[in-house]
Amino acid sequence: MTLCTLPKLEDGAKLRNVVLGAPAADGIHTYGNVTLENIVWEDIGEDALTVKKSGTVVLNGGSAKNGADKVFQINAASTFRVSNFKAENAGKFIRQNGGTGFKVDVVIDRCDISKMKESIFRTDSSSSTVKMTNTRYSAIGKELFMGVSSSNITTSGNSAY
């Protein structure tokens, strides 16, 4: 599939088997409940994906690399589930919009995350949660989860390499 403009995915949308070439500019924007499968960002550009409106965003399969800042940006209260995904060489894997207090629930499962300058998930909200399972990670800069209350972190089956 060749895209002339990057997709804006509305509530209920499904996007499958897409390769975004280098650079991917401002990436994919989601508005509501969205499902993505096997999406590859050859070069992240600004952000690979931005959650613009509340909902549940599910990303299963794919990869992204080479971002100066973050891979995924969350700008609205939401649930973000990413599984079977490989990400490397960026500032952060997931970032909740800085200075915001809305709740985000992040679920990371069976991913391979490497060479993040700062963290896997960063938030400024005391109510946001992260659950990371069965994930491999390496070369994560400052800490795995920045700004997340320890009582809001669940991990199991992960391994550093």
Three-state SS letters, the chain: CCCCCCCEEECCCEEEEEEECCCCCCCEEEECCEEEEEEEECCCECCCEEEEECEEEEEEEEEEECECCEEEEECCCEEEEEEEEEEEEEEEEEEECCCCCCCEEEEEECCEEEEEEEEEEECCCCCCEEEEECCEEEEECCCCEECCCHHHEEEECCEEC
Does 157 reside within a domain?
Answer: no
Whole-model pTM?
A: 0.94
Confidence at residue 24, expressed as pLDDT on a 0 to 100 scale: 66
Confidence at residue 3, expressed as pLDDT on a 0 to 100 scale: 46
Does 154 reside within a domain?
Answer: no
Confidence at residue 1, expressed as pLDDT on a 0 to 100 scale: 45
Q: Into how many domains does the chain fold?
A: 1
Confidence at residue 11, expressed as pLDDT on a 0 to 100 scale: 97
Does 126 reside within a domain?
Answer: yes
Q: Domain of 26: which CATH number?
A: 2.160.20.10
Averaged in consecutive runs of 10 residues, what is the pLDDT profile of the chain (161 residues)? 67 95 82 98 91 98 94 98 98 96 98 98 98 98 96 98 97
